[in-house]
Amino acid sequence: MEHQVNQTPKQHLTLRLCGPRGFCAGVDRAIQIVVLALKKYGAPVYVRHEIVHNAHVVEGLKERGAIFVEELSEIPPTDQPVIFSAHGVPKSVPADAERRNFVYLDATCPLVSKVHKQAVRHTRLGRHVLLIGHNGHPEVIGTMGQLASDQVSLIETVEDADKFQPEDSNALGFVTQTTLSVDDTKGIIDKLKQRFPAIEAPAAESICYATTNRQNAIKKAARGADHFFIVGAPNSSNSMRLVEMASQIGAKNSKLVRNASEIPWDDIGEGNIVGLSAGASAPEVLIDEIIAEFKQKYDVKLELAITAIEDEEFQVMRSLRDTELVAADMEFVNGRDKSGDLGVNAPSKAGGL
């Protein structure tokens, strides 16, 4: 006799997956640098500050032999390499590393280094630098640390831009943190330009391609969404901007989640539209797990909100290029089988928005 199992039908749900999402070229490069350094020099390698702002990445690298410190003074005398994080460091840090005879590898994202150069260029041209960014963020500390303290002022808000009193309003230049909200930053720049018409922009845009692309995808996906989840960390600036943006665009609930366990599954109901993206430091394995759990719990209709195809790649430094990087080395962040990935390079695998 056959037993009939009465299964409750799964609730319907639309999952809008943003592309681009997750890792940018600068984060990918920084993680590769740690992985390759471990392969080339063996454990331990020391990393100053979280290499990128993601606990999964940091824990994965710790398991492989990386030791994370906040300051170089925590590292004992060693011949092993010391790596600086993707966010960039003040000029004093490599100088300190040299004093301590450390071999260091600078994993600063090339686009952050570009902002450093623009800030220095303003100064060389006799301008006081206004850095638009968030106080205390390592990237801001690193950029301000390229200049003497009286050569740069931090502007965090439109109010700051309104109150700032320069010594010479005809000798000002600005740069911004790479991971800000494009729209919020525009408000601050507009205010500065209105007050100081002679202020000079950087020769190249400071907000990076990855920030802009991820924000554009959110703009496409968030309208009408009942829930919007951004995979990332609370100290990840670009991730927090994505959460804010999803709300501003119209998602009813938008929330930062570190992984699938932080999704409030009980709040998601029949017919809901759920948006999903990830900050630039969040690995794809975490997104894969979330999608798998959605599919297990719900009858999912997948939509892709694709706004750009990214093909940027930043090479690691010359000294690591003779060490081979294979897919298995990055499996802990990228997952195993990329052929089935619902990523920006596979928009034909599901209905687009």
Residues near ligand SF4 (CB under 6 A), total: 15
CA 3/CA 198 separation, integer angstroms: 81
The span from the CA of 115 to the CA of 147, in Å, is: 12
Quick note: the x/- pattern for ligand SF4 over 200-239, rule CB under 6 A, is --------x-xx--------------------------x-
Q: Nearest CA to 275 among 17, 9, 11, 6?
A: 17
- Residue from 85, 118, 178, 215 touching ligand SF4 (CB under 6 A): that is 178
User: Which one is catalytic: 50, 139, 293, 331?
Assistant: 139
CB of 208 to ligand SF4, least distance (A): 3
139 belongs to the catalytic site: yes
CB of 349 to ligand SF4, least distance (A): 25
Of 92-121, binders to ligand SF4 (CB under 6 A) are 109, 111-112
Q: What's the rounded Cα separation, in Å, for the pair 21 and 279?
A: 6
Residue 132 touches ligand SF4, criterion: CB under 6 A: no
- Between the CA atoms of 251, 253, 257 and 260, what dihedral angle is there, to the nearest 10 degrees? -100
Instruction: Give the nearer residue to ligand SF4 in terms of CB position, either 254 or 281.
Output: 281
**Residue 51-90 contact track with ligand SF4, rule CB under 6 A, x = bound:** -----------------------------------x----
Length of the chain: 353
Our finding on whether 280 is near ligand SF4 (CB under 6 A) is yes
User: For the chain, how big is the Rg over CA atoms in Å?
Assistant: 22
Which amino acid is located at 124 in the chain? Answer: R
Closest approach of ligand SF4 to the CB of residue 168, in Å: 30
Q: Which long-range contacts (CB under 8 A, 24 or more apart) does 329-338 make?
A: 329/35, 329/36, 329/39, 330/31, 330/32, 330/35, 332/60, 332/283, 332/285, 333/23, 333/31, 333/56, 333/57, 333/60, 333/283, 333/284, 333/285, 334/283, 334/284, 334/285, 335/284, 335/285, 335/288
Q: Which of residues 25-44 bind ligand SF4 (CB under 6 A)?
A: 25-27
Quick one: 61 or 263, whose CB is closer to ligand SF4? 61
The whole-angstrom separation of Cα 48 and Cα 72 is 7
List the strands of the sheet with 172-176, edge to edge: 152-155, 128-132, 172-176
Question: From the CB of 86, what's the least distance to ligand SF4, in Å?
Answer: 5
Is residue 179 within the footprint of ligand SF4 (CB under 6 A)?
Answer: yes
Pick between residue 120 and residue 353 the one whose CB is nearest to ligand SF4: 120
Q: Does 146 bind ligand SF4 (CB under 6 A)?
A: no
Residues that bind ligand SF4 (CB under 6 A): 24-27, 86, 109, 111-112, 178-179, 208, 210-211, 238, 280
